[in-house]
Structure 1
């Protein structure tokens, strides 16, 4: 009996032990499957499901080739070579380095021996910007621990053409300067996402209820209003002109006065966007036509004349007595060109670029004797509000400057300041502002929004952007006709023999002093020329500026020949027909 009880006790004890173990298993399973369920599912997802970024392609940039868009900036694929130092055996390092140096050449990073030896890391870049051929040759060597990453890089089939208008894309993939910087968001697009179960080689499988496939949205393909042929000739003409004059810097802008579209922007010095990292002076990135305000000088006299005619205070035949000097606010203003004294017309004052004539117009906008508050208010209304001087035009380029036109009631905006403004000193303006204003006074009085965008490419279809009228009636049609005739006469009086016969070409010189150490310098001047050309209507406006440190550069002597060169070429390129 005693033995039976002992046997029963063992059985019950074993049963209790089994039941206890089963309880532990049940509790453990409950803990794993219920309490820790989400955590382990997440861990499994992390191992099995990969999130792969589908990079968006950066939009291409086109220029016009006559009436047809042509690719100016494209994308090409290059490769970054990386290694996993923990995978590469020490005895294999020498062969890996030798192979990479032999094939990658100048694309190899400095100190690759040190990089490949960093076994505390899993990723080191040894070479960048490899071509597909270079990458394939290295892959054939079947080097352990070596991998490649595709990288998109900008390619410029026209080299450095329109460099400052285009800008560039930096190593991080962000647009800098020019159109690349200003419209970076539109060009970049939006990356896509592929989330999928993968195999051991990270190849996406088609199964899985958590799969996500969001296609990338590529950037817009933007078509510029820049004509690559006009741009190329403008750059050549500017470079040739600077070589003749020995000037250090220069800029050219060419606009269509009937639309506001910019056909060319040339700057010297320049650079190659494909080699932006080699540029020593960052000033080369700036587009001087939009980002460098200056005192434009006598080309502004065309706007002063337009203001006077539109307000009815002068006509081309109005007269005044010229003594080669005029006193304003106790300050004596002199003409640069002497000898045209006596009673002369405003047309003659424009022909010979007489400061006294422009100051007289400013006085007649007031009480006829002083550039009073009324006169200054009228000048500001036309110069700033109508012609757009001293404010951004909105052109689609990075770092546009607004310049400065002093308010008529500002302490520094007294009549001496405004007398200087009448002949282009005492205010800072950009070339794009002056060119757009000049377009409006010769096209009938319509101020078009200056633009470098001609449209977009939708697949193979070109969708042209319509011109935007920013302001109509800035001056009357009658005023515009008179001003255009005066500007034509001003040029033909001295330079008629330089232009092709049968076409209407007009222009105005400008030579402006610069401020050195706080004072106007007579030893450093900027030469500017502003003009138009066409057949039965103006078809282009060209503005040229040349400058140099400690150089006396003149509009008629140094800038005007560049204008003439481009103008005569434009008449042929646009296939305009001579009158008569």
Structure 2
């Protein structure tokens, strides 16, 4: 009889051999035979597409000063599938990088191969990651975690020109301001390339040939002068605080070529910090409309003069009150009982009644055409996102009361940029120029200036505006010693959004003007919104204009004793029967910053670990104190000046590195 156990063992061995053969056959098929499904799984596990982001272009001021740059920063990412002990890791991460534990654990438990844990880590957070041994002494991380090096947008001057620059999101996409307007140029070309991933899911090898197609963003150069911008922002901040106002704005523009040299708003913000309320980020100079009030009377005067009237023509002031279509128009102050006023004096004393009567005398057709020719009701196309066009009522809707109100600046909606451009025409001899914010990229087809007023009319309006800043005018506090100043105050009531009527407690005070007789034609607008206490433009915006003009004079080197040639030209034009019209605007008047300041300038070197900008010190030897201050303006250095004359020695010396709040000592002596 056969042994049953031997038979069972034999059958078991045969079964094992069959199973082993099947396994080997299947393995051979997997290894040798083609299997599309498995091949796809392998590709998905070890191959991927990676987006390579280019470096974002820098934003520079007119002299090459960096206003927006890039800095390398660390972020932490993970492959949740490779992580172990996720609860303990979530607890350590939440302590190290200040994240809620529950949210961190939820992220670590996601069924994905890549997640961001936190973008843009600070040095303090990296230090804590090392302290909690998430990063070891060799720089390696816990399995499944890795550090990703990214670019971060940095604004080295912090609040400087913040409303112009705007900001970006965490992926370096423009959100506001120039960052949004020029996003396509700044961001460059993103390329998707093939990459091989390691066991942790991290990209290791990429398609180098395809990566060559990445194009870094191109730079954008603004017309802004960073040093002047800094000085203007300081003056604006002081004025807003003094007036206890809600907000304020200042614009400085070259009246000949339209270059915006400074554009400031208060309150401001630091674009390096996220979460600033929208009200602080808004560039009020182009996005907000307002009723211009008495500053509009200069446009009314230009319209009257271009129709053939003269500065000596007179209007009866009605002793303070005037009724149109049953509505009473009165002067700003009840004690103002004007009688006969010349057109020049109308502007000097800022009569509402005389302005209303002058508008009625000019007529709706001519005055409407004047406003449209000045560009009111249309965007200036300065190149800033969010600019509004303002509003001029349709001419067919103009009633006598409409015309009278617009005569003294009510019933129209304008922007500060539109008003500045209008006054530039008075400063440059009658030309309407397009405001310009960009040097790079250059416009494909520059828009030439348009003849708006004759030279004679522009000079006559300027003469009347000069009387405003005399001791008898409303703008005396705008006058700056050593300069002839032309300009106009404005105090406009704001509309109460709840009642739809003019508020008796909210005003916009403004002043627009320019120095007369200087080689460099510059026009400045200042406005203070909702000042408390004394709210008149003559008491709030006019002093701010004076300080702004002083900053411009220091930075641009405007002479304190203007030439007499402009006065002679005005007198000659008044005596001439034919208007003194230039054939073209002399762009040579748009002069650059004086050459004396050009050789010496600070150059940006790097950013410190605390986020402070680091600059390389130039040589200031041979410069006057004023010229040295021009070079250092725009930075928060502690400046100490000893002696008088020209710079003989300096600390730090040329080539040294210095950060914001560092001390700079200059020793001056008279030249031998």
Q: Please give the range of the TM-score, normalised by the shorter of the 2 chains.
A: 0.7 to 0.9
Gaps of 5+ in 2: 1-28, 564-672
Partner of residue 316 from structure 1, selected from 311, 317, 324: 311
Separation in structure 1 between the aligned mates of residue 418 and residue 477 of structure 2, nearest angstrom:
30
CA separation in 2, counterparts of 1:178 and 1:475?
Answer: 33
* Whole-Å separation in 2 of the counterparts to 1:120 and 1:197: 21
Distance 2:167 2:510 in 1: 29
Q: In the aligned structure 1, how far is the partner of 2:191 from the partner of 2:52?
A: 5
Per the alignment, residue 146 of structure 1 pairs with: 145
Query: TM-score if structure 1 supplies the norm length?
Result: 0.81
Count residues with an aligned counterpart: 519
Give, in whole Å, the separation in 1 of the partners of 2:379 and 2:116.
Answer: 44
Cα 1:93–1:424 change in 2 (3 A) is same
Alignment match, 1:536: 518
Equivalent positions of 1:87-98 (< 5 A) are: 87-90=82-85, 94=88, 98=92
Matched, 1:357 2:331: no
Question: Could you list the per-position Cα deviations for residues 48-79 of structure 1 after superposition, in whole angstroms to 9, with x for gaps in the alignment?
Answer: 76533221221111123xxx210001111222
Q: Distance in 1 between matches of 2:143 and 2:367?
A: 75
For the Cα contact (< 8 Å) 1:194–1:214, is it kept in 2?
no
Instruction: Give ranges in structure 1 of 5+ residues lacking alignment.
Output: 1-27, 366-374, 457-463
Native 8 Å contact 1:74 1:156 kept in 2: yes
**C-alpha spacing 1:117/1:203, structure 2 compared with 1 (3 Å):** closer
Counterpart selection for 1:125 from 97, 111, 116: 116
1:549 Cα deviation from its structure 2 partner = 7.8
Name the structure 2 match of 1:77: 72
Structure-2 residue corresponding to 1:271: 269
SS in 2 for 1:404: coil
Secondary structure of the residue aligned to 2:469 is helix
Q: Which deviations, in whole Å up to 9, do the C-alpha atoms of 1:351-397 show, x marking residues without a partner?
A: 000012222322222xxxxxxxxx222222211x2111122111221
The 2-side partners of 1:566 and 1:549 are apart by: 18
Change (3 A) 1:496 1:549: closer
Aligned partners of 2:480 and 2:107: how far apart in 1?
A: 67
Match of 2:547 among 565, 568, 575: 565
1:484 and 2:462 equivalent?
yes
Residue 121 to residue 241, structure 1, CA distance change in 2 (3 Å): same
Q: Measure the CA separation in 2 of the matches of 1:572 and 1:125.
A: 50
| Matched position secondary structure for 1:74 | strand
Per the TM alignment, residue 263 of structure 1 is displaced from its structure 2 partner at its CA by 1.2
**Aligned in 2, Cα 1:160/1:205: closer, same or farther, shift over 3 Å?**
closer
Give, in angstroms, the shift of residue 572 of structure 1: 2.1
Are positions 1:556 and 2:538 aligned together?
yes
**1:507 aligns to 2:487 (yes or no):** yes
- Pairing of 1:415-454 with structure 2 (within 5 A): 415-454=400-439
Aligned counterparts of 2:258 and 2:110: Cα–Cα separation in 1: 60
Distance 2:280 2:90 in 1: 40
CA distance 1:537–1:320, shift in 2 (3 Å)? farther
Q: Output one character per residue of 1:73-119: Cα deviation in whole Å (capped at 9) or x when no partner.
A: 111122221223332222x8636854x567x544x465465246516
1:291: which partner in 2?
287
1:238·1:268 contact (CA, 8 Å) conserved in 2?
A: yes
User: Residue 573 of structure 2 aligns with which residue?
Assistant: none
Query: Structure 2 residue aligned with 1:579, among 537, 562, 567?
Result: 562
Equivalent residue runs for 1:349-498 within 5 Å: 349-365=346-362, 375-383=363-371, 385-410=372-397, 413-456=398-441, 468-469=446-447, 471-492=449-470, 493-494=472-473
SS of corresponding position for 1:276: coil
Residue 204, structure 1, aligned to residue 200, structure 2: no
